[in-house]
Structure 1
């Protein structure tokens, strides 16, 4: 079945649930090996999912931000690493279609490639700059040479690197103070992936290092200039909390199933009948409801807003990410308390969920930056 053939969002959500069930069966193996979910990504390509966020005029479905995060959440219920990986590709295309920062010819070219199965992600983080959201200048350089650019440098956390066909690389332009984004095809000479990813969280994202040595690209692949002072709000980054919400829901699912089946001889019947277990399940439900309401609410607000209103949504987007991610951590913790010591067994998915949700704290925007942003927002809007 293909996503593009389905008429409604509900049908697409249902198809994703079917795919997600397949992902669950492979998640443990990928995690233990620290390998990459090649089959999952291939399934998403074959189903037409990877082109859903491309605008309709470019051959995609132009799905809404709300639908995108709902689909991402379902992927994460099956495998968080697969969800976060493909979420970057999907979100970047959604953002490029919305804001149109690139030359039309280059965007059209990328859309055509994605329609045929190509994958794209940005590579912005470097060892010395830390997260690009904190404003560090890239040490990767771009130097003009005739009608070409020569790129040299390296990037860390290049998620989905084993299967990417295109990289959007930020680089400092030599002889100027500017920072630019450059489109680099994987097939370009001098592009190398160094397998360094050894995180204990989201082990299957293949977030290795990207090494660029005298990489020559045409002038048209200087796709846009980075303007830190005019950073626009990015609705598409809600795919990050959506991933962690999905992982938290998988933890709840496991905890309920366990509680229904576990019957120690010290009590009559399964532990799901115990008041203390039901108390924790009630708390989990409450937390998930709160997370859903802020995540879905902000996504829908984004859809209903014009460009001017969207630019003011930074505080709301940051608040959604902070709330959902921290709530997800707390939900996994409560699920582990229900299951007990068994949740720490390597064979138990809860210990993987526990490690995976922690990664959300280190995805942008970071909690401290969000709190600071909310404080400034509060002060700016204070009326005497």
Structure 2
């Protein structure tokens, strides 16, 4: 029985699902699993923290789908002060935050056999995990490059300083390797898919209309929908969980939905004519080709995906456009609607992903 702890700025109970949720769900099949969610504060909620709906359940243990969850909420949390002259107070705030670590996650660290630390704010706890429980194996889940997501200098400095305390660095894309101090402890394990999810039948929410769907808010480019909806008035464009980024969308055939529970989005995916990954062109990292879960979910349900050219990669069923270019958007949607070729995603299951992370030596394909 493996005793696992996950530390992340996500929360396992959140409506929105990221790769860390699926990994945690699989860990729960292997033994006692805890999820420590950090960085929730009045400041983060003012900025649109997706865990705001869980704020009244913070600072206590709650069991959810076999996982013990603890969401740490404070009046403040440390953040990127963005100015070199503020480096000292920034570092002091991060140090104080670590010192205030609650007793519950401290105990969880002591009891863990393995601790998964996701990239971002959680990286500041690498040294604390090693100090509190030197015997615990530390796995770093590199969901993003710290430089690309504009982490505070303190986080980047602590990560580099404590990097060799990490036992295994899991990279879901080889493009993330350049953001590591070295790759001696790194393994390549792409994101997985849940084939059982696509084998079920879900109610059709589209009421006979041809429809396309977008899920999530990451790098959301609202202008895509303004252009596409005017060019294809007979198609309904459903935008789910884009938050404030979608507030300006106001055409009859653009339907904006609030954040939905993950399971509620599945009918929209299964019955869509095509999916949309409307990433804006903002020096988007190359690793997005491999790490975009929405693109994998479109492939899982066998529907074409319309996405910017920089997110195409070599996967089947993706049709690219140039952000802001109306003609290329029209061509990509037309090609997606005309697609007759089967779309099959060959990704591993999430169970296989976790097995590769835990036992990489047994899988030669994890080597960089």
TM-score scaled to structure 1, two decimals? 0.27
Q: Which of the two has greater helix per residue? A: 1
Which structure has more relative contact order (CA 8 Å, sep 6+)? It is: 1
Q: Which of the two has greater strand per residue? A: 2
